[in-house]
Each structure stands twice: as structure tokens, then as C-alpha cells.
Structure 1
Amino acid sequence: MHDLIEDMGRYVVKMQKDLGEYSRIWDVEDFEEVMLNNTESKAIESIWLQHDIFDTSTRNIVKKLYFSKEVMKNMTRLKLLYINKFDTHEHLPRSIAQLGALRCLDLSHCKRLTQLPEFPVQLDTIEADWTNYWICNSLFRNLSLLQHDISASDSLSLRVIRGWRWHGMPRFPYQGIDGVSVYLPENWYIHDSFSGFAVCYHGILTDITAHLIPLNDDGVSCITRKLVLSNHSKYSLERNGIHFFLIPFAGLWDISKANGKTPNDYRHIMLSSSEKIKYIFRLLYKMN
């Protein structure tokens, strides 16, 4: 954004602040005032905070951000929450889940962060350090808690979360390409522990089909499920960024088609779609 336009925007917001109805916060002191004094917050649509580690002035040095549960509950219009370079937080308050209008959560460079809060209903874009195992694990833990619906057409509707890929791809052990099966390790399925397949891809997808393929071709058919990937984001059809979704095992497994076989008799998984994409995935267990 051009500096003059940015200055004009800040001036407009300052006028809103003077009226007690400002819609955007980028100054840490303003944020603290809202949180500590329970300042009117219903009009706030964007919070953009960046702790500049190179700024030696005492004005912008903050040890820890304070989040008021009551104030955040009143932020019914907040769509963007950007918290950058605040290294004092290992986790964020659960009250973030109450931000019903939140669409984008940016936690770039929050190095000490070990988990993500539960997702608000409309949240579809998250930026964080995806090379951090615990952050990535927390993302898929949240996805595993979401309701998945199997329609009459035998398809599974899955929630997709988008990232901007500023900090690299996650480190997943399995790599696949559209239409080519990937070999699963022996005894990969553990009852009451295995949650599903955590998938990450770069590109555009709206639907995809998952195939569990038996190790031996002894007349047992593959177990297939059409996956409908749902995403509210206006960015969901852009090629930039990475996307995450979880294939829950309970939604994929079909005992009526297994003919007495166990999940561990199925040693290949394949994803196929109309788009030729590459993807990475890992097996998600409840205890890891």
C-alpha cells in the first residue's frame, strides 16, 4: 500500500477512535486500552499487531499480550487477527473460539507457540510456522473435532484450512501424486488411537476420492470415499498457499465392504481427482 494511502487510512481510523467506534487496531497501546478498560469493541473488524524486535523504544516493547475474555466475546465483527513476533505465548486464550466472525488468524513468527486455539465457525485461513510439529499437530487435532457429514451420495464433506506458505511446508513422511498409491507401514492402524490421514497440498481442489487398497488382490474390493472439500474463504480457489484437511478414519472405513478384513489388511492409500496434484500426508494418532 502506498504510504499516503496508508496514512489516510490511519487518519480515518483515528477519527473513528475519537468517536469510540474505531474498526481497526494496529497499535499495541490501543489494544491494551481496549482489553484493560473494556472499551467499546463491537465495531472492531481487524487487529494487526506486530512486535518489532528491532525497535529499542520502550513504547513498543511488550512482554505479553493480555486478552480479556469478556472483551473478545463482544468482538462480533472481528474478521482478521494478526499477531506477529510475540514470542512470550505458548498458547492463545480459548476465548478466540468465541470470535464467530473471524476468518483469518495470523500467528507468524510466534516462536514459542505450541498449540492453536479451537477454531471459530467461520475461520478458514491460518498462518503459522507449519514446520513446527506441535503447531501442525494442533491444527489437525482441531480438524478432527469438527463435524463431518456423509451425504446420501456416499461422499464425505471435509473442512479445509488454508495457509499462506510463508514459513515452508510441514515435514510429513509420506508423499503422493494424484492417482498413484502410497504404501502404508505394517500395523499402521491402532484401534482407539488412529484418528485419520492428515493431508497437505498446494493447488486447487474442490473434490477428491480416497481409496484404501488391500495388500493382496484376493477378491477384496477397495474401500473408496468421495471427499468434498469445503472452504468459505474467498482465497480458496487461488493457487497460492497451502491447504490442509483431515480424512477421519471413521468416515473413510466401511466395514460392509471389507469382507471380514481388518484395516491393517489395507496397505495402500491413493488420492485421485480431476487435478493432477502432489500432496504430503502423515498418520494422525490421538497420543502423538
Structure 2
Amino acid sequence: MSEFITIYCEGQKESHDITILKKVIDGLNNILIKPIGGKLGSKAIVEYLENNQERELSKSKYYFLFRDRDFDQPIPEEEKLIIDRKTYYSYRTTIENYLLDVSTFFHFLQEQKNNYKLNTEEAVKALFIKVAKELKYYQAVRHTLGALRFANSFDTTWVVGSGTLPNVLDLDSCKANAWQLIENTLSKSNQQWTKKTFETTLQEFLTLFEAESFFDELKFLVYYQGKDFAKALTKKLPNFSIENYYKYAKKYFDYTKYLDLVELRTIIEQQLV
């Protein structure tokens, strides 16, 4: 029975997760990457595969689940993985956040001979910042909902999901919709949160997201939900293909630019010894 490391991840074959993980493990042997679909019930699925189905076929010397942090874990003060037993959460909010890069975006537009008048990296950065400022209230509210929710309670948005943006993004509308989600849940539970709790938590994120350094240093590419940012970005660029951009970004992706992914590589190497 062979021994190897198994990395479970979200998505399906050729998903962003798999492509990026392949870059991280490039040159290493005896590693399997297995997608398991969405994050719902992911821990239980991994445990089942390791303890039942996979036992007859092979044995993992070491295994873990690599997944988006999403709004399920607070963002560390340092750029590092969040490790919860056999689950490794990314530092950035979603896998798309690793692909949304100013320099990569600029070079893609240059290769495509774009007509968007984004002829310098500074112009692309300015566009990214403009989009980020328009999204700041919605993203602050999503983080607030993520910080306040408990198991099987409410989502972090009131629309269909990430990548589908509300029609209105002003602070009052986002707050009203978010509080309605909480109120609907509180009426069915024993939680005693008040609107003051909601307002206080929201203000913490608003303070962070309203600092100029937050935008100048592109910190929103860490904090924002990647699908939401990509959707808002493409609205500014008529006929822009985000899928073609992602293909380009994955082709030239350099995991060494991200300390949490470097950390992931180091952990894997240590387990191979």
C-alpha cells in the first residue's frame, strides 16, 4: 500500500483551487489533489474518504483540506494560513483573490490589445481602487454578518450569493438588509444580540475599510470577497471576459508572492521527509 500526501480542496476538476495547488506543489512527488465540491459538509466528507472509502485503495501519510477562508474565520494580523486541525484556510478571502492582481491584469489587457484606455499599471490600480470604494459598505456588512453568525444561522448576504451584487450598495441599504437577516434568525433562536452589537461590529470594519491606506496598499484584495470584486470590476469594462482573464492569471501564477502559500509548500515538504 503506497503512502502519499492527500490535499482535499473545494471545486471540481480544473478549478482555480486545483490549478493554484498544482503550482504550490510543482516538483514534489507523492501528492494527490482531490476536489470535493463545495465547502458545505467538507470536513465530514474528508473524514469519510480517509476513514472509509479510500482505506481500501491507498493510505495517506498525511492529509488536509485546503479551503477559502471566506467569512468563516477572522483575518489574521499576519499573512499566514489559518490551521484548524485538518483544515487549512487561505489567508485571502477566496481563491479568486489570489488571481486578482494589478500587474497581471495590466499585462493581460496589453496582450488583448484592449480598448479600455488602461495603458499603465497605475491606471489599472486606480480602477481597482475605484471599484473597491464602491463596494466597501457591502463588503463591510458581509464581514459583519460573518463575524456575528453562528452555526446554521444566516448567510453573509441577502442576494443569491457571492458574485451576485445587490442593486443598491449604499451603507443604509446594506445595513438594513443585513439587520433583517439577523432579526429573522434571532426570532427563531435564543441569541440575545442587539442592534448595538451589529452596529459596533460593523463600525470596526467600516473604520478599517475607510482608511486611505486600505486602498493605496490594495488590502481590499485580501479582505473583499473575490467573486464580488470581480463582478463589480467587469461591470466597468464592457464585454470583458473574466474567465479568459482567470485562464491567463493561472497560467502565469507565482505562488511565491503569497506568504501563506509559501507556508503551505513548506508544510508539505516537511511531511514528505
Q: Shorter-chain TM-score: what band?
A: under 0.3
Bigger-Rg structure (1/2)? 1
Structure with greater proportional strand content: 1
The normalised TM-score by structure 1 is 0.22
Structure with greater proportional helix content: 2
The normalised TM-score by structure 2 is 0.23
